[in-house]
Structure 1
Amino acid sequence: MSALNTVSFQVNKDNEIFGLNASQWKVIIAKVDANKVTQEDLFSAIVRWYKYNAGVRQQNLPDVIGSLRLDEFETEFIEKQIKPLPGCERLAIEAIKKRGDSISWLAVQNFGEDWLGVKDILRFNQAKEIWEKATRLEIKRYGFDTAFIENCFVFIGGRSINGPSKDVVSYNLLTKEWTTLSSMQEHRSSVCVVVLNKYIYAISGKNKRGDALTSVERFDWSTGRWQYVANMPRFAEAATVLNGDIYAFGDIDVARYNSATNRWEQRRSMLDRRYSPAVTAHEGFIYVIGGRHSDHRTAERYNPQRNEWTRIASLNVSRRYICAASIGGQLWAFGGVIDPAKWTDDVELYDAAADKWLIKKNLPVTGKFSCHAVPTKFVEKLY
């Protein structure tokens, strides 16, 4: 059967699914290309297959449904769509329990069409592989960066109507309360923010005079204080954390920060000069995407063990101010701006095996985002 042999059939359209047995379904679920077929696609096809001959297939339905990654489905979906299926109540209860201890992903809009007003918070629906609106927060700044720590989103720096800001506020996802935290020692717009060992690092940015900063300061959540750490070698456009170290990227240069020694060291330069690229750690590598001065589609990958860079496939849509995120073992790139100043809602997924970017369903809003892994139990309280 071609559906079983290719493991890439259109599960919602191909009538060949009606001839499958339970064992064949389990093979397909295990081998199907996750970049092309979502868990919800598979679920819908399984339900169609079951209803085609419910009397015979009812006894096998829980075994087939149980082969899916059920904890990736939204709790409401599990309750309404999976739990009522014959023999699937226990599977649903276990999936909901597992989901309570799992991680979900939120994307915080920090730049978009409403510069000084409301910002959207998006959540990633893993089963559907789409971004959906979770909530909106009024943040009268733009160009800030965010951190997630101790149940809170922390909004750092950026630019208000008065220019670059050093303000820091937090929003508790559990209590939905705002708290004003100690201000940074310097005003920083376009600041790069990372979290390492329960410290928040504010890296570079531009001050009120428009100077590109090489200074770095660190926020201690337990004391509520900021303090300077070692300066960077140069201005940073983006930063991420990998293997307990901070990596910062500016123009073509790369620097690595060791928090134990409080020292930065130069690493091998990128292959291309980049302005406002997306940067994220994924599967032991660092990916730098877009933001090249001459072509905002290009991307490259850094191997920290070999201290070397490799080009990967270019994006389909040229843009900068993109957000890159490692989500459930997949590398995503979304949002950003198309020159000269058109915000985009494009979403792309990297297929490493084929070395190409796949176009996925667009965001519900345009803009620049930062992405954070957050306990699912908090995420589901937002909507």
Structure 2
Amino acid sequence: MTKNLFSVPIFFIVFRETLEAAIIISVLLGLAEQIVHDDRRPIVAAEPNSEEKTSENDSDSVVKRRRLIRKLRIQIFLGAGTGLFIAFAIGAAFIAVWFTKASDLWKKSEELWEGIFEFAASLMIFVMGITMLKMDRAKAKWRIKLQKAFDGSKDQGGGRTGKWVLFILPLITVLREGMEAVIFVGGVSLGQPATSIPIAAIVGLICGFICGFLIYQFASRTTLTIFLIVMTNFLLLIGAGLFSRAVAAFEENAFNHLLGSDVDDAGGSGPGSYRVQGNVWHLDCCNPNDNLNGQGWTVFNAIFGWSNNGSLGTILSYVFYWIAVIVSLVYLKWKEGRAKVLGVESAAGMRRRNRREAKQEDL
């Protein structure tokens, strides 16, 4: 039941995209307060010889600032809600069309299509996991970007234009994140039953909102970095499992063609149900496809790609996936100038070293 009603990869994909959108919205909310409080221009027009009314004007100014902050927050949430609605509509239409109009195409070669989509999903998760490590830097980047946009709007058209900037930016941002989620979820869901999508997507959405709110309220950058590292590990574990399962699906498709069209009617997981050539292990227990005793192992299959049947292809694909992750992380760290590879330093590393040497000379 777990495999049919809840898709773990879809949960983590929706959770990741929701969390990124929540972080950006939290930056917008903080920026709205910062802009209003840092704005030195008087909200209430000053009257000549009004020294006696200074305290009253200050209190009125505080009230009006609070109202302005509330209006800006409403604009931010309206923009985010509009973008989320559009993304949901597009995603629902895409998934509905696939499962209603293209189901016959799926049934003709189920294992082949399952392997293709799991392979594509593993590559998507690979990219998402690597970029997720940089999400803690999104706050500073978006704060600078939004501050420039807001300052430019105030120079051109006053507060109203700035208010609409805080509506349009979250709309575009959430729409972009939502479309990414639609693409990723669409790629993963094509290899899974339709019943596994709604609950996983809703739970991922709720968890993303909750974690985004907690990060906005309490988390420092250090805490956020640790949190993102842990989540990236889970995401890459899922990606490695999907990559291994994709290879297993390709091998199963080839084995089914070798035996003939009636292979699925045999059932079971004993001798004759798997290809002995290239097989490393086969356990009679721990079968995630066993509807009677495989519920617990189904969870491990969904999260880590576990299978009671291990071949050279599935094992090596799992190992190579992690080697690719390690190489990518080392390259990114080298490219950013935070490490040397075989004594070779990148251009960014040279610039960082020159800045450090310049600071030491100044001291």
1 or 2, which has the higher strand percentage? 1
Q: Calculate the TM-score normalised by the size of structure 2.
A: 0.21
* Structure number with larger C-alpha Rg: 2
Greater RCO, 1 or 2 (C-alpha within 8 Å, sep 6+):
2
Q: Calculate the TM-score normalised by the size of structure 1.
A: 0.20
